[in-house]
Amino acid sequence: MEQNTRMEKDTMGTIAVPADRYWGAQTQRSLNNFKIGTERMPIEVIRAFGALKKAAALANLKLGVLDERRAMLIANVCDEITSGALDAHFPLVVWQTGSGTQTNMNVNEVIANRGNELAGEALLHPNDHVNRSQSSNDTFPTAMHIAACQETKALLLPALDLLYGTLDGLSQAYQDIIKVGRTHLQDATPMTLGQEIGGWAGMLSACRDMIQSALMPLSFLALGGTAVGTGLNAPLGFDQEAAAVLSRETGIAFAPASNKFHALSSKDAMVFAHGALKTLAADLMKLACDVRLLSSGPRCGIGELLIPANEPGSSIMPGKVNPTQCEAVTMVAAQVMGNDVTVGMAAGMGILELNVYMPVCIYNYLQSVRLLADGMHSFNDHCIAGLTPDRAVIQGYLDRSLMTVTALSPLIGYEKAAKIAKLAHEENLTLKEASRRLGFLSDEAFDSAMNPANMVFPAEKRNA
């Protein structure tokens, strides 16, 4: 069935547009000319544009360059955009102009056409009114920063806090379980399971601090720089007024960038912030790899931890359970690390006064945020929250460990302690039996020194 259309015009002429959509000629030209991939401009960017355009309209109103009726009409449509009511009217793909101009115009056209529908007359022009005091070159990087801050705060940090809280609880619960530590995948001195899990929790706590710090540069906005950073066609004070409105609307403290030439041409704040996401990805990969290694088995691996049996692990091996949540998290981490390369390369293409790789930059940033947030929720709920120790296996490894011999070094020296360990290993003896055979220590002195409970805390805690 043939689609109903209407005719829209821009400076290049007229073009047919779907009759039931609010976008105009420039959006339609982009749809026709960029049939590349399936990746749409993230809706988070569109909703950030909604907040931005409202802020711009209210700033223009206050500064006397836009009348109240038009400003409030724009603001009302922007509220519809940020609520998600107009999501279907933003169809453009990521793979478009690198400045994001077509998405900026998509937003301008939707606001103008929807606003005119609400007004019952043609009051709004997408360029003259909705885009007043702005350029795509300063609005798109501003929308990038808004969306990045909003999604990081709304999605990523709560998921990070959830997983941290679960790990911290497990760490406290298992401080009494003494186990073999391992370095280089070889037996090392004892520690507690709580300490090991506490190390994982510590990674996430450090990542949270890094991410919070990395959000600060994203709070500075390019808006007010217009085309190349000079602020041509923007009234004095526009950037401050718009940033103040955005801060009120979003609850995030935004401020104008002090150097608009830098803000338009460089995407270093995105690189810095995504670097913190990559740091989290690296730590999540380490955490997931540790969990699947310690839970390997159940009979022919390490087997110190038991993971939830969520689903059958094999189509051919009955009863097999796999660490699927760990695998999902490590795949997420790999994707985020790849996204970081893309963000870095995109930022490096700030040619003269403008970066022209902005859509792919924000697409990858937001994908990383979503994947990390979803991955941490899934990992927490379906793996970490159900993680339990196999105390018998842990005790068995501790009883057979040779590296507790380290506690003898202060008494008999490194070389004699090494001889005890080597003899015990070569002849399948206990350390005590090897010590007795070599005659380095009395059984009483050996027993006094070889209490694993005295090996797992620093001296000040042992003596407390």
Question: Which positions are annotated as active-site residues?
Answer: 184, 314
Q: What is the DSSP letter of 458?
A: -
The tokens for 260 are 């608009």
With residue 310 as reference, give the H or E element that holds it. Answer: none
Rg (CA), the chain: 30
Residue 291's nearest CA partner among 247, 319, 322 is 322
The tokens for 194 are 């709580």
Kindly report whether the peptide bond that precedes residue 235 is cis, defined as omega within 30 degrees of 0: no
147: exposed, middle or buried (Cβ count in 10 Å: 0-12, 13-18, 19+): buried
Sign of the dihedral through C-alpha 447, 453, 459, 461: negative
Q: What is the DSSP letter of 175?
A: T
The tokens for 436 are 């007795």
User: From CA 208, how far away is CA 38, in angstroms rounded?
Assistant: 32
Instruction: Give the CB-side neighbour count of residue 9, counting CA atoms within 13 A.
Output: 3
CA angle 233, 238, 240 (to 5 degrees): 150
User: From CA 223, how far away is CA 398, in angstroms rounded?
Assistant: 61
With residue 109 as reference, give the H or E element that holds it. Answer: helix 101-119
With residue 7 as reference, give the H or E element that holds it. Answer: strand 5-10
C-beta of residue 151 within 8 angstroms of C-beta of residue 370: yes
Task: Tell me the one-letter amino acid at 20.
Answer: D
